[in-house]
Chains A and B, each alone.
Chain A
């Protein structure tokens, strides 16, 4: 299996407006294979979103390098953001079409296919303001797949959605990832979401962001909601949670020791 993305020992340091240097990421190495979904779980502020931007090529790492395996000689990402980030001046159809315009593709059948898959049929001409939060997420998911990206990067895609809708959306997304044979990277702080959707979970620490553990998810490739009560589901979730709790205890100690922070 060829790696779509291979991240080798990268670091990212920002300079704040005050001139202070903040190390956001340090010594991160990971590889994402074709057709798999990996999840990154960590406390907020650990640099998860930064890692996504580095992989997307929107920002450059300070150290290390990122190898991007190309399919058909190109590397393109699909992006799902935590707050849909739709163009409010475009209809559902035109929002989904956006990536095709930018990469100069005319594969409009794909738009129709995704509208069908995401249950947006009949809403093609609606503007984002006319849609519920859940529907807006569906548009943003369809937009991430429409140009057949090498990898779909998802940054907390279901934050702020009510629990029932969230589970339905997670199921739909999982089905899409499989049916479209997509490679994906999911950043989330929701442990159950990471377990349900991914094949492997990387646990990240905070300040600086480092990968502290990798947890495999031993569930069948075809996931359905009933698996949420499988032993393997609990097992993976438990491992991730224990790691996160251990880090939280440490950071509480650190904060208690340095009240000025």
Chain B
């Protein structure tokens, strides 16, 4: 418990300094709204915060689920087939080094201004760390364990299920941690480029009339969302891997 004292105190002091700074220097709210104003923005009734948040969360999780499924399947494919590995590798490497948000506007032109484009952007941002990490986890196994099972006459399939798959789990979860952050980034970028709803759209739309406090309201929700998703992945990881202790 003592370990949390300083971070919590630091956070509270930060909020107080923020409020004081805005009040003392009379910073206009459209430039930098104080925390008290941000709290109020949730209760004006003008903005359906729950609805807008659900739009963004739905996009992010939907894209994340597809991204994880695609990423995991691709990791299996490139682990199990060295030929497919060689065929797919140039594309994976090219996508790896490309700043993926850069292709957002092109996606819309190619696929239309639809949910498909939005989801695809999130999928591209999320499946990547899953592929890379899971592939490492499936490949980077204890050679001795493989020898042990081979010496007992185990088939490649048995070795896969008993060694490779469980070995990949912590790697997969590391990928998932990066993936959830990517999912939120993807949802917001997708909404920036084109959308009519969601927190990203809300931020952009509020800027038009200097309703900066609404944008800050969205930032706070996005921060909480990020923490919840990230924390959720960590908790799920602890549930599924009581044997694993990340250092």
Contact = CB atoms under 8 A, between A and B. Distances in A.
Contact of B148 (A79, A83, A88): A79
Contact of B245 (A76, A77, A98, A129): A129
Given A76-B152, A87-B163, A89-B169, A128 B147 contact: no
A88 B158 contact: no
A58 B144 contact: no
B153 A79 contact: no
Interface in A203-256: none
A103 B152 CA distance: 7
A158 to B, nearest CB: 15
Contact of B244 (A56, A58, A88): A88
A102 B169 contact: no
Given A85-B144, A89-B169, A102 B158 contact: yes
A68 B118 CA distance: 63
Contact of B162 (A77, A79, A91, A98): A98
Nearest to A155: B144
B237 interface: no
Contacts of B151: 56-58, 76-77, 79
Given A88-B243, A89-B241, A102-B158, A53 B149 contact: no
Contact of A127 (B144, B147, B150, B243): B243
Contact of A87 (B145, B147, B241, B242): B145
A89 B78 CA distance: 24
Interface in A82-111: 83, 85, 87-91, 98-99, 101-103
Interface string A127-150: 111000000000000000001000
Interface residues of A, number: 24
A196 interface: no
A202 interface: no
B153 A129 contact: no
Interface in A56-73: 56-58
Contacts of B153: 76, 102-103
B37 interface: no
A103 B162 CA distance: 13
A80 to B, nearest CB: 10
Given A81-B144, A85-B145, A129 B152 contact: no
Nearest to B163: A87
Please list the 3 inter-chain residue pairs (A to B) with the smallest Cβ-Cβ separation, ordered nearest first.
A85-B144, A127-B243, A56-B151
Interface of A: 53, 56-58, 76-77, 79, 81, 83, 85, 87-91, 98-99, 101-103, 127-129, 147
Given A77-B152, A101-B162, 13 more contacts: A56-B147, A58-B150, A76-B151, A76-B152, A79-B148, A81-B148, A87-B162, A87-B163, A99-B152, A102-B149, A103-B153, A127-B243, A147-B152
